[in-house]
Structure 1
Amino acid sequence: MPTLPSDSVCSLAPVFAVQPDQLEAFKRLGEAMLERTRNEPGCLYYGFCYDGATARCREGYRDAQALLAHLDNVG
């Protein structure tokens, strides 16, 4: 059986149930988070999508160190 290449990518896919009256505020927060994340060298992808009042974030980082740097950046 062939050996697979090493993969250190860390990905997250959090789902948020947003109160309908807070949806616009959440979207503004999501845009701010996207802006802060844009300059992280270890971030491979980061974005939100919405289905009504359900928000999904898809994010990926080069490795665990990059994920921890992201958490420090947006914390």
Structure 2
Amino acid sequence: MTTHTQDNCCTLVPYFQVHEGKMNEFEKLCPEFVEKTRQETKCLYYGFSFNGNIVHCREGYQDAEGVLTHLANVEILLQQALTISDLIRLEIHGNETQLEKLRQPLANFKPDFFVLKYGFRK
């Protein structure tokens, strides 16, 4: 597979469906996620968007190592979030070299992997 980009950025695209009556509890976790993630040197951006009871975490990392570091960093918070929500979709975007480093470690989340083939990053 030929790719035409040197962009090693990896993007996580998770969607959580918050259980009925648990949105306030979920929202209380969001600033904790943000503060823990703010310390990660390979995080490019991070934030939460809301649409009714669906929450999207918008996040990007310099590379696969940044993704794995992040998931280890927020593991306890993520476990808490998953007791009051369901992960209804997870996409992971990146070039094949970086995605290959994530396929096995993230297999339990059953993500859809999107291979970046064309583009650039400034």
**What TM-score, normalized to structure 1?**
0.89
Q: CA deviation at 1:52?
A: 1.2
Identity %: 44
CA distance in structure 2 between the partners assigned to 1:30 and 1:20 by the alignment: 17
CA distance in structure 1 between the partners assigned to 2:57 and 2:16 by the alignment: 8
In structure 2, list runs of 5 or more residues that go unmatched.
76-122
1:1-75 maps to which residues of 2 (within 5 A)? 4-75=4-75
CA distance in structure 2 between the partners assigned to 1:57 and 1:45 by the alignment: 10
Task: Give the residue type in structure 1 aligned to 2:62.
Answer: R
CA distance in structure 2 between the partners assigned to 1:51 and 1:5 by the alignment: 33
Q: 4+ residue stretches of structure 1 with deviation over 4 A?
A: none
CA distance in structure 2 between the partners assigned to 1:57 and 1:69 by the alignment: 16
In structure 1, list runs of 5 or more residues that go unmatched.
none
Q: CA deviation at 1:51?
A: 1.0
Say what the alpha-carbon RMSD is for the aligned residues: 1.4
Tell me the matched-pair count.
Answer: 73
- What's the secondary structure of 2:25's corresponding residue? helix
